[in-house]
Amino acid sequence: MPLAAIFDCEGSRASAEEKALFKDVDPWGFIVFARHCSSAEELRAHCDELRECVGREDAPILIDQEGGRVVRMKPPAFPEHPAPALFGDLHRLDPQKAVEASHLNGYLLGRLVSDCGVNVDCIPMIDVPQPDADPVVIGDRAYAKHPETIVKLARAAMDGLMEGGALPVIKHIPGHGRGLCDSHYELPCVGASKDDLVNTDFYTFRMLSDAPMGMTAHVVYEAYDKERCATLSPVVINEVIRGAIGFDGLLMSDDLKMKALGGPLDARARDSLAAGCDIALCCNFTMAEKREVLNGIGALESKAAARADAALAPLKAPERGDTSEAYKRLQELLKPVIS
């Protein structure tokens, strides 16, 4: 069975040492960043090399291509996509057109990434932003302020993305919207009551719990576990994510190198998997760090393996026709909210 991990490459392409490691340990999947996306040709070649290393044509390759400020495939090599908040702005003017636009944008994102060999896009981000939350980590990455609107627009985006040939990942489960700091740098602690969390923060994830994959939040929810963030908390994963939310898809950690987490990398991986994550997401690890983290990661087994297979099952290749008319239609729909 594949290793319960997702890795990337330090350079623009896999080094000989990285290729040898990947062939040896067989990670379940990979993730790409801007350094791998200088052109469509380079990204496609990189994806082909990674899959050749593990000998699986459908090996998942992930990207964070949300639109707006969180993109890896950037202009001028690739077309620009709007930030999710624009669809919420349009929804206030015309809900029907907003849903159409979000679906179309999802489709075009799916086509954009899958045309280059990437088959998982880490969208939609369905965190519900709160007024006093950190404005950078969420901000215009959120579709809207109201959970019901987020669900409508995110559902449309997910459906469109899969039609475009890529699988979605709901994040950051069970909700990063109350975080007072950015978990890339600090550990957010949320003191909201269970009722507030269930009725607001968890609502979007519960309504989209049929998504094939989800990514955890490095956030402490004091009402459930005062010591451990969701990624490392059996209580949050079992009682909230698998229980109250009802998510039974493949659960991956957020990036284990983020500063919200402490301790050695292998311990972070071991603790996240022991808590109930299915996959350890290891981004921007050096070769030494990749080797270190292997001490905390085993092969996908039992329920995690079944979830991994089920997550990839809906993946279908789209027709590869021209998308220029679809981009024109998207611009037309968004015209009222684009300044």
Q: Kindly list the catalytic residues.
A: 184, 254
Alpha helices, DSSP H, located in the chain: 16-25, 40-54, 85-93, 95-114, 147-163, 194-196, 203-207, 234-235, 265-275, 287-293, 302-312, 324-334
Query: 100, 186, 99: which is closest to 151 by C-alpha?
Result: 99
String of DSSP letters for 56-86: -TT--EEE---BTTB-SS-TTTS-----THH
Query: 137, 127, 125, 236: which is closest to 186 by C-alpha?
Result: 137
Beta bridge partners of 214: 170, 251
| Inter-residue contact 213 to 167 (CB < 8 Å) | yes
Rounded to 10 deg, the angle between the 324-334 and 85-93 helix axes is 60
Query: 237, 96, 91: which is closest to 174 by C-alpha?
Result: 237
The whole-angstrom separation of Cα 294 and Cα 4 is: 10
Task: List all residues 6 or more positions away from 267 whose beta carbon is below 8 Å from its beta carbon.
Answer: 296
The whole-angstrom separation of Cα 121 and Cα 101 is: 18
Query: 111, 131, 145: which is closest to 40 by C-alpha?
Result: 111
> Token pair of 322, please?
């021209």
* Chain-centre distance for alpha carbon 302: 23
CB-neighbour burial class of residue 42 (10 A; exposed 0-12, middle 13-18, buried 19+): middle
